[in-house]
Amino acid sequence: MSDTPPPAGGSTRPAVSADALFGTVRSLWPYLWPKGRADLRARVIVTFVLLFASKGATMAVPFIFKWATDALTAEVAAGRTGGPEPVFWALVVGAPVALTLAYGLGRIVMAGVTQLRDGIFAKVALHAVRKLALETFEHMHALSLRFHLERKTGGLTRVLERARSGIETIVRMLVLQLAPTIVELVMVMAVLFFAFDWRYAAVVGVTVALYGFFTYYASEWRLSIRKEMNESDTDANTKAVDSLLNYETVKYFGAERWETARYDRSMARYEKATVNTFTSLAWLNAGQAFIFSIGLAAVMVMCVLDIRAGRQTVGSFVMVNAMMVQFYIPLNFLGFIYREIKQAIVDIEAMFAVLARAPEVTDRPGAPALVVSGGTVRFEDVRFSYDAGREILKGISFEVPAGRTVAIVGPSGAGKSTLSRLMFRFYDITSGRITIDGQDIRAVTQESLRAAIGMVPQDTVLFNDTVAYNIRYGRPGATEAEVEEAARLAQIDGFIRSTPKGYRTEVGERGLKLSGGEKQRVAIARTILKAPPILVLDEATSALDSHTEKDIQDALDRVSEGRTTLVIAHRLSTVVAADEILVLADGRVAERGCHAELLARGGLYAALWNRQREAEDAADALARVSEGVDDAVGAVDRRDEDSINGERVTAVG
């Protein structure tokens, strides 16, 4: 099954077929009728009982209206002729007044039972939403890194958001709108058939059929118009957000008029599309009203003829009108119900498509937890490729002894960061083995494997929460004292305490309120708190300036003490002290040894080292030149200031 969800809207989507509708309901039913939840099942039963009760009250109201009208007509007739009141109406309790009060009571019962039904079913619907959303969210985390790299995060969150909304919509529309409308239609047809005759039922049936066909085709036509409106709205919002996010760039180039004109063009398209949307809605409503009014007039004309023939009373005329007008209210929502159910099915199917995607990396049945005794990591002839036909690792073999540090260096694209992803089992290797203390990591649970490894990545992304929350993420049950101690060891405690809110300071979206060095220290503190026996440092200082790099490197050296450490580095100066350095090239180990040995060998490592040293020397020289220029400019400024001050003294003298 494809990972790509169906399009979110527009005429390209297929019509709601019975198979799609029933398939969606069948998939949702276990959540609406959950096992082990007798309370929720009871609510479902009560909901359907109240559904029929509310429609029974709905049917009773026109009858009471008819009886009140007939009673009033008889009373007026009796008063006009001076004769006694007919015996039948004399037996009716209170006749017109009592029946009118009963009519009002019937409408209250009808509304009250309907609202009670909706309230009782709300817990069932929202429980289904919660369970499905939770399963989808959990499943998304279980899917492989490959899946998430191929998808946009915003797209995944939209799938989850739309699915939640879609479940609520389809449950509300089917159970609380469409089902009651169908029940009411059947009841209206039955009442007309038995209380009048088959001709009335036939006219109503034809009217509803024509109404349904017109609503379906008009709604399909409107979907393409609404798609254009939604696309133009999205385009206008995108341009506005893009322009405001690049506010400084707009100012740099004086492009305010250009951005305003660009936004106005998008809004002009939105204006035109929205006008078309409202116009099409007017045509839809007008067509629905025309069809229903013709059917209503036909039924009432038939009733007038029957009254003249003595087969019906005036109350029957009022009853037919009230019943049809009352039925028109839910019928008028058919177009809206169809459109909402159609969108809900698309959104829910997108969610089920994600749920149907099997995780690429799974635990073996009965897999034991990883037991770390020393922490020796070994790669044994490991081969791996992200895509068939392009092998990234070509028989990598090395060992990181317990408590020692091994560094992996090499040019970009050599496969360095792939090693850390394989250690965490974000992917499974093609062949070979990766072991920790002799245990194949594919044979143990992923949870225990990842609990044993700490990671300090190059690009530390923090949660939009407090500093304390982000540090405590290493061990959620840690105390405040343990969090503060981890921060102290990571050399960030002083900075945190200098802020107004201390450990309650918000770090912003992705940690953007902190500098690169501060974010790295938070990541180190988080890893210290986790206290893993194995540590992976993946380009942990490559994005920092040289001064900050030195401070962070000191903190990393302290964290690494006594731990099995795999360092993946771009800057060779950070791995000089490693027990062993492996140089990767084209997916293979090209060289290995300590820093001095590799330099003496004069191979790839020595070439990389010399190149980086030359670049650093050039950068230092440029910095010294810049400082010299700044000093010269400062001296000139001071000389000019002294000259001006001297002239002022002379003038005063």
Q: Residue 468 pLDDT > 50, yes or no?
A: yes
Cβ pair 19, 166 in contact under 8 A: no
In single-letter form, the type of residue at position 354 comes to V
Cβ pair 379, 589 in contact under 8 A: no
Cα separations in angstroms, 253 against 240, 241, 248, 249, 414: 17, 18, 9, 6, 40
The pLDDT, as a whole number, for residue 361 is 80
CA distance 486 to 343: 49
Topology (CATH) of 378-602: Rossmann fold (3.40.50)
**Owner of token pair 């305490």:** 497
pLDDT grade for 621, boundaries at 50, 70 and 90: low
The pLDDT, as a whole number, for residue 368 is 92
Cα separations in angstroms, 66 against 104, 203, 303, 318, 330: 13, 21, 13, 6, 22
Q: Which two tokens stand for residue 588?
A: 């293979």
Q: Residue 648 pLDDT > 50, yes or no?
A: no
pLDDT grade for 624, boundaries at 50, 70 and 90: low
Closest CA to 16 of 355, 348, 351: 348
Cβ neighbour number for residue 230 with a 10 Å cutoff: 16
pTM for the structure as a whole: 0.61
DSSP E strands in 94-249: the ranges are none
Q: Of the segments 197-206, 386-395, 505-514, which one has the largest average pLDDT value?
A: 197-206
The larger pLDDT score, comparing residue 170 to residue 397, is at 397
In this structure, are strands 580-585 and 393-400 parallel, antiparallel, or unpaired? unpaired
In this structure, are strands 431-436 and 439-440 parallel, antiparallel, or unpaired? antiparallel
User: Euclidean distance between the first and final Cα of the chain, in Å?
Assistant: 93
Cβ neighbour number for residue 318 with a 10 Å cutoff: 21
Q: Residue 630 pLDDT > 80, yes or no?
A: no
* Partner residues linked to 406 by β-bridges: 566, 580
Alpha helices in 434-585 (DSSP H): 446-451, 467-472, 480-489, 493-498, 516-530, 546-560
* Of 122-136, 244-258, 606-620, the least confident: 606-620
Q: Residue 543 pLDDT > 80, yes or no?
A: no
Cβ pair 326, 61 in contact under 8 A: yes
Q: Which two tokens stand for residue 83?
A: 């004769």
The pLDDT, as a whole number, for residue 54 is 83
Q: Residue 94 pLDDT > 60, yes or no?
A: no
The pLDDT, as a whole number, for residue 90 is 45
Name the average pLDDT for the chain.
78
Q: Residue 89 pLDDT > 50, yes or no?
A: no
* Radius of gyration of the chain, Cα coordinates, nearest whole angstrom: 38
CA distance 605 to 195: 97
Residue 261 CB burial class (10 angstroms; 0-12, 13-18, ≥19): exposed
DSSP E strands in 323-367: the ranges are none
**Maximal C-alpha separation, the chain:** 130
What tens digit of pLDDT does each residue of 163-190 get? 777 777 887 777 777 888 888 888 888 8
pLDDT grade for 475, boundaries at 50, 70 and 90: confident
Q: Which two tokens stand for residue 429?
A: 């290797």
CA distance 32 to 43: 10
What are the φ/ψ torsions at residue 490 (nearest 5 degrees)? Answer: -85, 5
Cα separations in angstroms, 377 against 405, 559, 567, 612: 11, 18, 13, 29
CA distance 417 to 309: 92
* Partner residues linked to 379 by β-bridges: 398, 434
CA distance 151 to 161: 16
Cβ pair 204, 326 in contact under 8 A: no
Helices and strands (DSSP H and E) totals, the chain:
21, 10
Q: Residue 356 pLDDT > 80, yes or no?
A: no
The DSSP symbol for 122 reads H
Residue 326 makes CB contacts below 8 A (sequence gap 6+) with 58, 61, 62
Cβ neighbour number for residue 25 with a 10 Å cutoff: 16
Q: Residue 11 pLDDT > 70, yes or no?
A: no
The pLDDT, as a whole number, for residue 549 is 64
* Of 11-20, 248-257, 425-434, 505-514, the least confident: 11-20
What tens digit of pLDDT does each residue of 587-600 get? 888 888 888 888 88
pLDDT grade for 379, boundaries at 50, 70 and 90: very high
Cα separations in angstroms, 274 against 215, 340, 343, 556: 20, 19, 19, 58
Query: Is 18-356 assigned to CATH 3.80.10.10?
Result: no
Closest CA to 171 of 281, 324, 27: 27
**Owner of token pair 């090693």:** 419
The DSSP symbol for 11 reads T
CA distance 530 to 527: 5
What tens digit of pLDDT does each residue of 236-279 get? 887 887 888 788 788 888 888 888 888 888 888 888 888 888 88
Average pLDDT over residues 377-397: 86
